[in-house]
Amino acid sequence: MAVETAPQIEFSKELISYIEEWKTKPGNLIMVLHRVQEEFGFIPREAAIRVSNMLDAPLAKIYGVITFYHFFKLDKPGKYNVQVCMGTACYLKGGEDLINELETLLGIAVNEVTDDGLFSIESVRCVGCCGLAPVMIVGGEVFGKVTKDELPEVLARFKEKG
């Protein structure tokens, strides 16, 4: 079924082995795409094409899954992807204000990346920390009961890490 070719993208031996292991299992596509995104931080077009070829699945099916589920990213996020929860509790307690302030502080909009590639902003659905609303996740670290005034300090912490 491989219709499209693309420049080879480096898949780790572990990823290739994982795809081979899941190739014939039901529900393999979502599992494989999760693993691809884990390796690259997003799903590059070249990786989607290679997965299409390896699983003998139409590229349209691959993109159907990627674009249906909000978890999957087609664009490379910043090194520190700032995820602001917009679930009901977080929204009501100021999640949108956090996003607006982050956009001002970083000079980018949601789903954009700073010029230095360090930060991106993402609005996400409930992260399951409703008691800590509003919640923000930066580089996998959860920040609860965040206020706009705390944002510069949080961002500076990650900027220092580089």
Q: What is the mean pLDDT of residues 39-59?
A: 95
Domain encompassing residue 26: 13-68
Confidence band of 141 (pLDDT split at 50, 70, 90)? very high
Helix (H) or strand (E) run with residue 123 in it: strand 119-124
Sheet holding 80-85, edge to edge: 119-124, 80-85, 136-138, 141-143
Find the CATH number of the domain harbouring 93: 3.40.30.10
Residue that has been written with the tokens 């070829």 in this structure: 53
Same domain, 106 and 155: yes
How does the average pLDDT of the chain come out, rounded?
93
Residue at 6 is within a domain: no
Same domain, 92 and 148: yes
The verdict on pTM exceeding 0.95 is no
Percent of the chain at pLDDT exceeding 70 = 96
pLDDT at 9: 87
| For residue 4, pLDDT beyond 70 | no
Same domain, 39 and 95: no
Residue at 4 is within a domain: no
| For residue 162, pLDDT beyond 60 | yes
Q: pLDDT tens, 50-106?
A: 999 999 999 999 999 999 998 899 999 999 999 999 999 999 999 999 999 999 999
